[in-house]
Amino acid sequence: MIGVFGGSGFYSLLENASAKEMDTPHGKPSSKITIGSIAGKDVAFIARHGERHQYPPHTIPYKANIWAFKQLGVERIIAPSAVGSLKKEIKPGEFLVPEQFVNFTRRDDTYYNDETVHIASHEPYCPYLRDLLISTGKEMDLPVHGKGTVVVINGPRFASHAESNMYRAMGFDIINMTQYPECVLAREQEICYANISIITDYDTGVKDDPTIKPVSIEEVLRVFKENN
């Protein structure tokens, strides 16, 4: 089974869909799990921010979401998300399939708080799924960047100019609020995970181009809707 996190626009892609209420040792998932099929494949879908978009990034029940997918038998997760660009050449309306993350959040990020378990995260995103997403995007003539590093911030506020400049100076490509701890929790549950980053904005703008303005929620929603 394939698991997908995303927004409500995904429902229309599912055939023979039904909703399932689930509970986990880590609480309820963000939404009911919608189970259906796409091109003959079984797909389970969770609305990451809830069916009414009621969960801001720092309160999403990440552990419950991943646990529910595991209980359903999900083996691979495709996780689209909105991101801001930190580089002029990575433009709003384009896509990026990240290969690395840097975590700047303060979230519960493990199922192993009561025992010592170490996991490898040198390659945090599934290379098989990454290659599949990149090649499929190119086949569809979509503007896809095949590598990059995402810095994940706690939210819900956007970055300050100083923070954004620091992230650029550190060499990061995009900025997001939800990819961590989602990706490492999936790894702890031995589920392959890859992200499709939908570039919606230029974060705090572009210093040498005054026409490119800092991020606004209206612009994020407009571009995200188009790319969905």
Structure confidence by residue, pLDDT tens digits, 179-196: 999 999 999 999 999 999
Instruction: Look at residue 222 in the predicted model and tell me its pLDDT.
Output: 76
Give the C-alpha separation, 90 to 145, whole Å. 8
Q: What's residue 67's pLDDT?
A: 98
SS3 state of residue 58: helix
> 80 with 6: CB under 8 angstroms?
yes
**What's the confidence (pLDDT) of residue 215?**
67
Structure tokens at 95: 């896509």
Q: 215 and 84 in contact (C-beta within 8 Å)?
A: yes
Count the residues in the chain: 228
Report the DSSP beta bridge partners of residue 83.
199
CATH 3.40.50.2300 is the classification of domain 81-228: no
CA–CA distance, 36 with 52 (Å, rounded to integer):
21
User: Could you give the C-alpha distances from 141 to 52, 129, 225, in angstroms and in order?
Assistant: 33, 18, 19
The residue from 109, 141, 201, 208 that is catalytic is 201
Contact 182, 79 (CB under 8 A): yes
- Choosing from 114, 173, 203, 208, the catalytic residue is 203
Nearest CA to 66 out of 17, 24, 102 is that of 24
- In order of 62, 149, 154, the CA distances from 178 in angstroms are 9, 14, 8
Please give the average pLDDT of every successive group of 10 residues along the chain, which has 228 residues: 81 81 96 92 93 92 98 96 93 95 96 92 95 96 96 94 93 96 97 95 71 68 71
* Bridge partners of residue 151, in order along the sequence: 102, 175
Domain parsing of the chain, residue ranges: 1-74, 81-228
201 annotated active-site? yes
Asked about 203 being catalytic, the answer comes back as yes
